[in-house]
Amino acid sequence: MAPSVDVAMVTTEQRAVQGELDALGTQDCALLRRMTADVDFLLNSDWLYLVRNCSAAARTYFEILRRVRYELGGRIYFAHQRHREAIGFGLIQSLSPARVRGYPAVRRTLGEARGQ
């Protein structure tokens, strides 16, 4: 897959997730707040650090989240589409670093996400 297809796939996927979050927010704001708080905790805590040596997948995901937090300059917020996209781009890069490294849309997304 070309980098532009990867970027389009991650963006389209996260746009759909955002639609679901927005819909939940109109139906049950309290549930949305609890759910995003729980996911934020998992994305930003060091629980994966404890299990990172249990499997290659856990180690990879730990490193991706650590890198995304660094690139964002702080916490990952699940409610922010750009933050979820940054995780998606990190997953793609872990599978094939040459496909994403330096790709302008990825750098632009991380730059925009920092501003959120």
Q: What is the pLDDT of residues 54-73, one digit of tens each?
A: 888 888 888 999 999 999 99
Model-level pTM? 0.78
Of the pLDDT bands very low, low, confident and very high (cuts 50, 70, 90), residue 93 is confident
* Burial class of residue 45 in the structure, from the number of CB atoms within 10 Å of its CB (0-12 exposed, 13-18 middle, 19+ buried): exposed
pLDDT reported for residue 51 = 77
CB burial of residue 34 (10 Å; 0-12, 13-18, 19+): exposed
pLDDT above 60 for 10: yes
Over residues 95-114, the mean pLDDT reads 56
pLDDT in the model for residue 2: 61
Whole-number pLDDT of residue 9: 93
Question: Counting beta carbons within 10 angstroms of the beta carbon of residue 7, is it exposed (0 to 12), middle (13 to 18) or buried (19 or more)?
Answer: buried
Rg (CA), the chain: 15
- To 5 degrees, how large is the angle CA 64–CA 70–CA 76? 75
